[in-house]
Amino acid sequence: MISKLEHMKTASEPSCLRGKHILLAVSAGIAAYKAPLIVRTLRAVGAQVQVVLSANAHHFVTPTTLQAVTGSPVRQDMWDEAAEAAMGHIELARWADIVLVAPATANTLAKLAHGMADDLLSTTCLATQAPIVVAPAMNQRMYQHPATQANLKAVQALGYHIVGPDSGEQACGDDGPGRMSEPDELVAFLASLQVTSVLSGQHVMITAGPTLEPIDPVRYISNHSSGLQGLSIAEAAKAAGAEVILIAGPRVAASSAGIQRLNVVTALEMQSAVQEHLAGIDIFIGVAAVADYRPKLVEQVKMKRSGGESGSLTLEFVENPDIIAGVAQHRPKPLVIGFAAETNNTLEHARAKRIRKQLDAIVLNDIADPSIGFNSLHNAATLIFEHGEITLPKQTKRQLADTLISQLVLIFASQIADTNPGSMSE
Ligand code: PMT
């Protein structure tokens, strides 16, 4: 018998990659010079590695070097008859347990985001069912360009994992975000993906996104939540082996197959969906930015300007039910984790909110920093629970989701085990 806690510790070690098939997909950026080191780090922990190069990557790293360190022919041409005869690109896609795209240039990211398949690397990524990990590396201006940021969001919505980039001095002389993460960090991330069973047997419900409260047929009140953080947690919980129900507000991007999803619009609809499916839920994570109030009356026809002298309009609002506080009253009580986005006295407000709503833990986002929280690719948080607080530094929302799941399993190990003792052994 291995406890989940022990399993997770063992599985997070890079040695859990022993025997795994890692397909390293190298695109044409200066960071490609680190590809042989990635291969060596992976082989040192016992992984089997094959390399596929994008059309121009050979300008930055030679196939001969990569062949020497992998011990296998390097693949770079879809039309290479000999290579295709030995292992066709579809077989290569099936061979991989994990695909690591490192470095991922702006061009490769754009191709992945739009499902293009015009060279062996992009075709293989499209054909594989293995998890895809993307390590962006490019000039800091290219990285910060809205098109690249949109492509990053798009690949994340497809369920790809993004690692890095780091910030610092760049090969071109610029300083800023765009340096590829170091090989040992990439390998550690791949190892963390092997933590597949820490939530097996657990039923997890997650709310994500905003709610939208109609005023009349054309107007509503809402907030800036994109749903990406909630969606990322749903994907991370599923990757950790849980059965996941995602209650998604408007605008939340597509979730992967295998996640049971219920789309809702208003807070009342979200509450009904949550209550209806709560029986048998072991862990509830409320990430949604639920509107606290809704208009008391929803006009059935479009409201017209009054033309009156005051030039103002007064709407009366009523309070929406507190969905997560209701979940915390449910018996048997699931493990209940809330989120709090705060702008001032953040710790004080979040701690009080956790106690007031009777939550087991709350994840605080300091949204005074516009680069995290609402509608951004990144997040940073403080995980607050009864006996401690843990800082989760700025990272992509998917990385934060994976870290959060790991931390919750560690902190609430006995409680998670109690809800489903059978899932503790292997
Ligand atoms: O969606 P993204 O763009 O990715 O952004 C993510 C996020 C910033 C929305 C997310 O990380 C976050 O912080 N969500 C909580 C937002 C918030 O301020 O919640 P709150 O303080 O209003 O509510 C606290 C908790 O109670 C939350 O778990 C919320 O889901 C829950 N709640 C709130 C009101 C209500 N009527 N019912 C609830 O269940």
User: How many angstroms separate the CA atoms of 131 and 154, rounded?
Assistant: 15
Q: With the C-alpha atoms ordered 154, 157, 158, 160, is the resulting torsion angle positive or negative?
A: positive
How far apart are the CA of 207 and the centre of ligand 1, in A? Answer: 9
How far apart are the CA of 309 and the centre of ligand 1, in A? Answer: 39
Instruction: Name which of 172, 137, 157, 156 is nearest 26 in CA terms.
Output: 137
User: How many angstroms separate the CA atoms of 57 and 64, rounded?
Assistant: 13
Pocket test for ligand 1, best of 287, 343, 371, 398 (most atoms within 8 A of CB): 287
How far apart are the CA of 289 and the centre of ligand 1, in A? Answer: 3
Backbone angles phi, psi at 176, to 5 degrees: 155, -170
Give the chain's mean pLDDT.
90
- Whether 322 lines ligand 1, by a CB cut-off of 6 Å, is yes
Predicted local distance difference test score (pLDDT) of residue 92: 87
Which residues does the annotation mark as catalytic? 172
Q: What are the structural domains of the chain?
A: 9-193 (3.40.50.1950), 203-295+315-420 (3.40.50.10300)
Which ligand 1 atom is nearest residue 231's CA? 4
In degrees, to the nearest 5, what angle opens at C-alpha 16 toward C-alphas 14 and 20? 105
The DSSP letter of residue 157 is H
List, for residues 123-180, the tens digit of each pLDDT value.
Answer: 999 998 888 999 999 999 999 999 999 999 999 888 888 999 998 888 888 888 999 9
Chain centroid to Cα 34, Å, comes to 25
Residue 135 tokens, joined: 């390590």
Over residues 242-248, the mean pLDDT reads 96
User: How many angstroms separate the CA atoms of 251 and 394, rounded?
Assistant: 24
Predicted local distance difference test score (pLDDT) of residue 151: 95
Predicted local distance difference test score (pLDDT) of residue 207: 98
Which ligand 1 atom is nearest residue 381's CA? 11
Residue ranges of alpha helices (H) inside 45-182 are 63-70, 81-86, 89-95, 106-114, 120-127, 140-144, 146-157
List, for residues 229-241, the tens digit of each pLDDT value.
Answer: 999 999 889 888 8
